[in-house]
Chain A
Amino acid sequence: MIGNNPWLDGLLRILVIALAIPLSVIVLNYVERKVIGRVQNRLGPMRVGPYGTLQAVADTIKLLTKEDVRPHSADRWTFELAPYVVVVPTVVALVTLPITDDLFVRNLALGLFFILAVSTLSIVGLVMAGWGSDNKYAILGAMRSAAQLISYEIPLVMAAVAVAMVAHTPDGRGTLDLVQIVDGQGRVPYIVWQSLAFFIFVVAALAELYRQPFDIPVAESEVVGGPFVEYSGMRWAMFMMGEYVNLVLLSILASLVFLGGWNWPLGNEVGPALQVPLILIKTSLLILFFMWARAILPRLRIDQLMAYSWQVLLPLAFYQIIVNGLVLVYDWPDVVLGVLSGAGTVTAMFLTYRMVRRPVPVRRPAPVAAGAAREVSV
């Protein structure tokens, strides 16, 4: 602890985070445009600075000097408070996110639960933005985002429960403390024993970030940006910042909980010089996966989207929890857990494939008069 004063210590540590957030958003914005550019056989930004590295800085300056417009009919307080409600929870959630075993703001005993609970609050901000804007597209987007985000919240939390079941301290007690969860993984990360939970977590995280292929709430060609239609300038940039910080947050969380964090494969004793790069590599790989998914996958329809969460991910998450419970209660070997979870992952992939290929639901045709020619319904 710095200065033996919890307030000063907390303030200094959070200031570091508060400075790192805008920086990481600027870097990620550039990386994302480059990655999507490369996938589409383009160069991406190239004009501003060497290889376009200053493009995101230029965009920030442009957004900072852009007029802040608010519709006359907008609900003023809801409209203006919405960016705060989206960004503040993500900053608060970063408090308990450890980078190494002694690099964090505060390692809360309820870490995993705290992050999931707090980062969910952003949904309220999206609904506020949609309702406050007094715009048809905005409210439609807000309702869609509420429906999608709460649906995928459940599998995400259930995957976390599955991990909380197997995570334990050296003396065999259960724990939600993120440092202890990482240290408990030792030589074998939980992805081996909990591959199904990892699959569910990553897919649900992709949906929680409302990025393609789960971008129904903010789809430009359907609801012209969803809840953010009426926002401009820095207010709009705050929503983007919330989105990117959430991306970083969920990627770090997944790499801590499933990929062994700073522990695997080098072990706990190597010190921060190797631990920090290790976790950065894992996080970057996950972030690149999210960007890659965004670039190559088409948007899901809303019926596929909702059905996928409730009919595929949720039952499979229950399956994972029950398998975990059985194996742990009867002290069966870990291999059984790995095999059963792996079988679940294969099933999940098969069901995902089937769900994506499912045809458009056919509406019941209107009764046709006798003798009239039947038309093919589209």
Chain B
Amino acid sequence: MPDVQGLFEQYTAVLIATILGFALVAGALIGNLILSPRQRTRPKGLSYECGMLPIGRGRFQIHFRYYLFAILFLIFDIEAVFLFPWALSFLDIGAMAFYEMLVFIIILGFGLLYAWRKGALQWR
């Protein structure tokens, strides 16, 4: 079990990597800015629609089915968050911990089955 100081020292690298990652992208983009030609003409600023003039706005309303999958994702991702600590410790706690998580998985499994029967998993 690392102490707080050790934990801090471990995660300094994450902070450095974040900053360095930004610097990496920024460096490439600044290099591009220096080396590339710049000639702003009006047609260049139009959004691409296979060479035709764009019709209407680019941002349109999106179909509801994407939202359904986002909801399903949330449910199962939260389950994954619960599963990770359980996976590390269920052997220490014993068979009871396994069956409790089994009940949890089965409830969510029924949820998936319900979504399946309702046709939420069918892409239409």
Contact = CB atoms under 8 A, between A and B. Distances in A.
B35 A6 contact: no
Given A131-B59, A165-B87, A224 B48 contact: yes
A329 B86 CA distance: 13
A88 B18 contact: yes
A329 B36 contact: no
Contacts of A315: 109, 112
Contacts of A237: 28
Given A64-B36, A165-B90, A238-B28, A154 B73 contact: yes
Contacts of A235: 29, 32
A11 B21 CA distance: 12
Contact of A150 (B2, B31, B70, B121): B70
Interface residues of B, number: 69
Nearest to B55: A136
Given A68-B33, A135-B47, A329-B95, A151 B12 contact: no
Given A88-B22, A176-B88, A105 B17 contact: yes
Contacts of B121: 306-307, 310-311
B118 interface: no
Contact of B77 (A67, A90, A91, A157): A157
Nearest to B84: A113
A182 interface: no
Given A234-B32, A314-B112, A150 B123 contact: no
A302 B73 CA distance: 17
Contact of B90 (A175, A238, A325): A325
B36 to A, nearest CB: 5
Interface in A85-141: 87-92, 94-95, 105-109, 113, 131, 133-139
Contacts of B95: 329-330
Nearest to B33: A68
B88 A14 contact: no
* B39, B73, B94, B95 — most chain A CB neighbours (10 Å): B73
Nearest to B10: A106
Contact of A84 (B16, B22, B77, B101): B22
B46 A146 contact: no
B29 A164 contact: no
A303 interface: yes
12 contacts: A7-B16, A71-B45, A134-B59, A135-B54, A136-B58, A150-B70, A153-B77, A235-B32, A310-B112, A310-B116, A311-B121, A315-B109
The 7 closest A-B pairs by CB, nearest first: A174-B88, A234-B32, A91-B21, A134-B58, A88-B21, A10-B13, A72-B45
Interface of B: 2, 9-14, 16-18, 20-22, 24-26, 28-29, 31-33, 35-39, 44-50, 54, 57-60, 62, 66, 69-70, 72-73, 76-77, 80, 83-84, 87-92, 94-95, 98, 101-102, 105, 109, 112, 115-116, 121-124
